[in-house]
Structures are given as C-alpha cells and as structure tokens.
Amino acid sequence: MPVPDYETLMLPVLRLIASGAKNVGECVPTLKEEFGISDEEARELIPSGRITVLQSRAHWARTYLSKAGLLHSPKRNLHIVTDRGRQLLAANPERIDNKVLEQFEGFNEWRGASSSGAQPPIEPAPAVDESQTPDEAIASAHAILNSALRDELLGLLQEVTPQQFERLILDLLGAMGYGGGDLANGLMTKTTGDGGIDGIINEDALGLDAVYVQAKRYAPENKISRPDIQRFVGSLTGEGANKGVFVTTSDFSREARDYLTRVQHRIVLINGQMLAKLMIQHRVGVRARSTYVISSVDEDYFSGLNPAQTDG
C-alpha cells in the first residue's frame, strides 16, 4: 500500500520506540512491514532526493511526538518515550494525530496556539491545513521546517566541546558582519583563566571597538542566572570595555534580564532558540539542500509585445 501520512505513523512510531527502537531508522523496517509497503514504494524519494518518503514521514511523526512531550531526545539520534508518552500508550488510543497532540501544552506552544512566555519568545511553527492558499501553505511549511532545524541544531550544539562552541560563536559573529566579516578579526581567549571572557571580536573592519563574548553551552533546563551576568559585567569592567554578547544554548532567567536594565554596559543576550535562528539566517553550520522556484506571469513582458508580435 502507499506510504501512510505522518499522522498515521505517529502511534506506530511511539509504540516502536517504547518497545526498544532507539531512533527512526530502527523503526522504518517494521513500519514497512506493518503497513504492507512494497519495496518500490519504500524506495520512493521526496522531491529533494535526500531521503525516502517513508523515512521523511516517520521523522516528522517523531518530531511532532517530541513537541508534545511524548518523546525525549537526550542526544542526537536517540529517542526515549517519556512518562507522558507511556501514559498515552497505556490508554490504548486507536490513533494519535495532531488533534490528540493538541491536548498537550508544549505542542500548542510550538504550533503557535499559545505563547511560551520566553524572552524572546520561541518562534511558533504554524500548522499547514487545507484552508490555506498554496502561498500560505509554503510559508507555513517553511516555518515548520526551520523550527525543526533549530531543534536539531541545538541538539548538535550539546555535543560539541566548549572550545568548539566558542569558536562557532565567533564564526557566527563574523558571518553577521562583525570584524568586517573577516574571521581573522576575532580571537578566542585561553581555555582557562579567561576571567569570564571567551572571545573578542572587532566591531568593524577597522578594529575601532571590540565586542567581548561569553559563551555557555548549557542544557535547556539550566538557565543563565543573574550571578552569571554579574560576573560577565565585572569582566568587561576589568577590561575597560562596555560592549558584550552573552550566548547560551539554554535561556536566561528573568532576574538575569532585569539586571541588565540597571547597568551601563551594552550587553546583548542570545538564548538557544535565537542562536539557532541566527545560525540558519547567516548559514553557519547549515546549508541549502533544495530550492523551489515559484514563478508568476511577467506582466512587463506581455505589455511590451507589439501588435505585430501578437497578431495571428
């Protein structure tokens, strides 16, 4: 039979991971057998040609389950069913789809049905539905793809070393135009004894001013606190500097953000979601895999045709 849609695959994927499958790759052979998918159908590729339709839909099923808090991914390519997921399975649902997932708060936040309250807020991933125009559906699908990509990037950042993470931040700032876009205008401080400064990058190509960088690769639940920001401000003061960027893979506490409103230093805070968004925007650690060209009628061309060209 044809490959089922991703919603139909949600319940089987959750069951398979609950029974011991570590990732989607381990689920695919069983899904193929369970749904009677032929070898030819299983080899069908998505338009980009990167993966099969079956793999793609199983991955999206896993993504949506994770957003509802039914799956947890302690590291890349390893998924574990949460207590919430096991409770849902214990209820013996006939089907899991987006309507079922809407009962879970985290899923609605991701879909943009409610705000997470984070500062800055997590960019929502709107749903794609049949009421949308093709243009709206493309925009919604693009937002969902970027939302999933942000999560994947944050998972990868948890696996790099602190030194690699600091280098990545300087690469990103360079890509954003700091130092005139020249990576040679940024440097990392020593691994130890850096006094709370992880990197320094010129604000412009001429090196007229420097921006000091603090980079913390923390787990999502471990927020940057006010004392962390106070130490960074103290380090800037010790260097005679007043501009800094504090980057983390997690987030900042309310007290940390409030503290910055009472200091003279100009410090920009970049949390995990914003970091991943900037990486996508400035092509750091990501690359374009496929491009879809949307064409429209060229009115100028047709208005420029002379009568001799249009007769007959």
pLDDT digits (tens, 9 = 90+) for 202-248: 877 676 788 899 999 998 889 999 999 999 999 999 888 889 999 99
How high is the mean pLDDT of the chain? 84
- Angle CA(73)–CA(224)–CA(213) in degrees, nearest 5? 105
Q: Is the pTM of this model over 0.75?
A: no
- Under a CB-based contact definition with an 8 Å cutoff, are residues 265 and 233 in contact? yes
CA distance 245 to 169: 10
CA atoms within 13 A on the CB side of 40: 2
Give residue 36's region: left, alpha or beta (phi > 0; psi -120 to 50).
left
For the chain, the first-to-last Cα distance in angstroms comes to 51
Per-residue pLDDT, 124 = 45
Question: Does 162-281 carry CATH code 3.40.1350.10?
Answer: yes
pLDDT for 112 equals: 61
Question: How many angstroms separate the CA atoms of 208 and 223, rounded?
Answer: 33
pLDDT digit string, tens, across residues 73-127: 888 888 999 999 999 999 999 999 999 999 998 887 777 643 333 334 444 454 5
Take residue 4 and report the two structure tokens written for it. 């089922």
Residue 189 confidence (pLDDT) above 80: no
What CATH code would you report for 1-110? 1.10.10.10
3-state class (DSSP) for residue 272: helix
The reported pLDDT for the residue numbered 227 is 94
Quote the CA–CA distance of 138 and 144 in Å, as a whole number.
Answer: 10
- Domain ranges across the chain: 1-110, 162-281
Task: Show the 3-state SS of 201-253.
Answer: EECCCCCCCEEEEEEECCCCCCCECHHHHHHHHHHHHHCCCCEEEEEECCCEC
Beta strands in the chain (DSSP E): 71-75, 78-81, 186-188, 199-202, 210-216, 243-248, 266-270
- How large is the average pLDDT for residues 263-284? 94
At residue 148, the pLDDT reads: 83
- At 170, the amino acid letter reads L
pLDDT digits (tens, 9 = 90+) for 24-40: 999 999 999 999 999 99
The residues, ordered by sequence, that sit 6+ positions from 48 with a Cβ below 8 Å of its Cβ are 289, 290
Contact 212, 241 (CB under 8 A): yes
